Structure 1
Amino acid sequence: MENLSNYFGQNIIQKRIVVTGGTTGIGKAIAELLVSLGGRVFIFGRDENDFNNAMNDIKEKLKAGEIYGVAADITQKDDIDLIWNKVDHVLGGIDILINNAALPARGIIEGSYDDWKYILETNVLGYIAFAKEAVNRMKEQQSGHIVNIGSMSAEVKEKTGVIYVSTKTAIRGFSTALRKEINPLGIKVSHIEPGAVTSNMQTAPKEVQKEKIAKLEMLEAEDIAMSVLFCLAQPKRCDIVSMQVRPHLQLI
C-alpha cells in the first residue's frame, strides 16, 4: 500500500467540503481534521457564539487548507439559500457534504408539537435539503461524496429518546435509499452511526463524560472524525456504505 499519509489525504486536499453543524462536537472535529489535510471547508451552526469560537479556534490551528462559514439555522429556508450562495461563491461548488447538524430529543411524554417540529426539521429535513442541493451540484461533475452522521439510537431504540430515535431511524433509511438513487451519478453515500460520544448533546456534565471516556464507555468527537476520514479516503471503486462506531465498553 502507498504511504498512508498520502492515502488519507489524497481525497481531501483542495476538495470543497460542507459540514452542517460544524461549529461544535463531532462537526467541529470533522472540520478541523479535513482542514488540516488541506480541505477547503465551509461550516455553519445556528449559535453565533459557537460559530465565532469554532472559526477562531480552527484558524489558530490552520497550517493547511481553508476554513469559511456563516452563522445560520438549517431549518430556515432563507438561511439555507444564504449558505449555498456563499458556498458557490467562496468554494465554487461542492465535492463532499458531511450531514451532521442534529439536536437531542427525549420521549413522547415530554415536549410539545412545536418542539418536535423543530427537531424533525433539523434532524431529518435538514439532511434531505442539504443532500438535494449537494446532488444538484455534484451530478454535473459526475462525482461527490455525502456522509450522513446517524446514531446507534436507530438500532438500540431506547425508550428515553423516542423522538431522537425516530429521526435517526429516518436517516438510516434515507441513506440506504439515497445511495441507490445517486450512485449511478458517480456520487457516493456513507452512513456512520456513532455510539455514545462526548458532546453538548450529552446530558451528563463534562467531568462525567471525561470519566466515561477514561473507562472506555464513551467516544471522543475526534474518533468519529477519523471514521469519516476513512470513508472519504477510499478509492473510487470502493464505498464504505455503513459504519457503526461504539465505545469499547458500551454494550449495545
Structure 2
Amino acid sequence: MSDRADATGRFAFAGRTCLVTGAAAGIGAALAHELARRRAVLALVDRDAEGLARVAAAARELGAREVTTYEIDLSDGGDRLDLAAEVAARHGGVDLLANNAGVTLMGSFEENSMADLEWLLEVNLLAVVRLTKAFLPQLLARPGSHVVNVSSLFGLIAPAGQVAYATSKFAVRGFTDALRHEIEPMGVGVTVVHPGGIRTNIAANARISGGDPEGKQAEQARRFAERALTMPAEEAARQILAAVHHRRPRLVIGGVAKGADLLARLAPIRYWRISQAVAARRKIV
C-alpha cells in the first residue's frame, strides 16, 4: 500500500502535494481551501497574483502544511517543464494534479475570431494536456497519485453560442477518458469532472468576441450567471475531493448537469430542442 493512500486504497490528502490551476478564485480557490483543511501541501497556479496571495494566506490559516504560488498565464503556450522541475525541487513531486483553470468566450462561431478561439483552446485544453504531460513522470513515480481534469456541463451537451467552449470541454473529456485507460493500470487515478451551475465568475469574465456595441452579449452573460450559476463553489470542491478520495473516474455536479447528461443519453440528437423548451419555460435564457 502506498503512503499516498489509506488502508482502503483511497487517496489520502494529509501531507500530499496538490497542484491546483485557476486557484485564485472560483472552484480553484475552493479546492485550495478544502485541501488546506485536509492538511495538504499546496502548489497554486494562476495569472492573478493578488488573488493567489489571498487564497494562499487563507490556506495557511486553514491548516495547509505548506503553500507555494506560481503566477503563470496558461494562455502563453509554455510546456510547463520548468514548473514541474520547480515543484519537484521544492516538494519532491506532485501527488494530485487538478487541472481546473478555464475561460469562456461569448458570441456565435461566426462572430468569434480565430485569435479568441485559439486563446480559449490554449487555456481550456492545451494547458491541461501540457501540464499533465509535464507532471506525468512525477505522477507515475508516486503510486497512488491522481489527476483531476475539470470539463463542464458543456462537455456533456453542446449549446449554441458556446462552440469554442464546448469544443474545449468535450476534448478535455475525451483526453481524460483515454488517459485513464493508459495510466490507471499503473496506479494513477484519473477523474473527469462535469460541473453545472456553479457560482463562479467565469460567465461575468467571459471574453466578448466580434464586438458587442449594444451590450447584448454582456447582458446575456450576466443573466445566465444570475439565474443558472447557483451552487456554491465550496460545495463543488467538496464533491470533487470526495471523488478523488474514492477514486471515482467521473463526477457530474449539480442537478442541471445530471439532467442534461441523462437527456443527452436518451435523445442525443434532439436534446438541444428539448432543453431550449425547458429553459424558456423557466426563463433561464
1:185-200 matches, within 5 Å, as 185-200=186-201
- 1:244 alignment partner in structure 2: 252
SS of equivalent to 1:158: coil
CA RMSD of aligned residues (A): 2.5
- Counterparts in 2 of 1:10 and 1:162: CA distance versus 1, 3 Å: closer
TM-score by length of 2: 0.75
> Aligned-pair distance for 1:32?
0.7
Q: CA separation in 2, counterparts of 1:126 and 1:27?
A: 15
Q: CA separation in 2, counterparts of 1:250 and 1:78?
A: 35
Q: Aligned letter for 1:241?
A: P
- 2:134 alignment partner in structure 1: 133
| Cα deviation 1:145-181 (Å, max 9, x = unaligned) | 0011110112221102111000000011111100011
8 Å Cα contact 2:231-2:254 kept in structure 1? yes
8 Å Cα contact 2:147-2:189 kept in structure 1? yes
> Aligned-pair distance for 1:115?
1.1
- Counterparts in 2 of 1:113 and 1:53: CA distance versus 1, 3 Å: same
Does residue 219 (structure 1) correspond to residue 253 (structure 2)? The answer is: no
Does residue 124 (structure 1) correspond to residue 125 (structure 2)? The answer is: yes
8 Å Cα contact 1:40-1:66 kept in structure 2? yes
SS of equivalent to 1:23: coil
| Cα deviation 1:59-111 (Å, max 9, x = unaligned) | 3x333432211211123355824422331122110111101111112331233
SS of equivalent to 2:201: coil
Q: CA separation in 1, counterparts of 2:62 and 2:232?
A: 21
8 Å Cα contact 1:11-1:232 kept in structure 2? no
| Cα deviation 1:101-148 (Å, max 9, x = unaligned) | 111123312331111111111111111111112211121233310011
| Cα deviation 1:164-204 (Å, max 9, x = unaligned) | 00000001111110001111211110111000111111235
- Counterparts in 2 of 1:65 and 1:156: CA distance versus 1, 3 Å: same
**What is the count of residue pairs matched by the alignment?**
235
- 2:4 alignment partner in structure 1: none
> Aligned-pair distance for 1:10?
6.7
Q: Aligned letter for 2:96?
A: I
Does residue 12 (structure 1) correspond to residue 20 (structure 2)? The answer is: no
- Counterparts in 2 of 1:48 and 1:79: CA distance versus 1, 3 Å: farther
Could you say which structure has the larger radius of gyration? 2
1:35-184 matches, within 5 Å, as 35-59=36-60, 61-76=61-76, 80-106=80-106, 107-184=108-185
SS of equivalent to 2:98: strand
Q: CA separation in 2, counterparts of 1:57 and 1:146?
A: 24
- Counterparts in 2 of 1:26 and 1:205: CA distance versus 1, 3 Å: same
Q: Report % sequence identity.
A: 25
8 Å Cα contact 1:73-1:80 kept in structure 2? no
Q: Aligned letter for 2:230?
A: M
Q: Which runs of 5+ in 2 are unaligned?
A: 1-6, 205-220, 261-285
8 Å Cα contact 1:87-1:93 kept in structure 2? yes
Q: CA separation in 2, counterparts of 1:191 and 1:32?
A: 20
Q: Which runs of 5+ in 1 are unaligned?
A: 1-5
Q: Aligned letter for 2:120?
A: I
Q: Aligned letter for 2:137?
A: N
TM-score by length of 1: 0.84
- Counterparts in 2 of 1:45 and 1:64: CA distance versus 1, 3 Å: closer
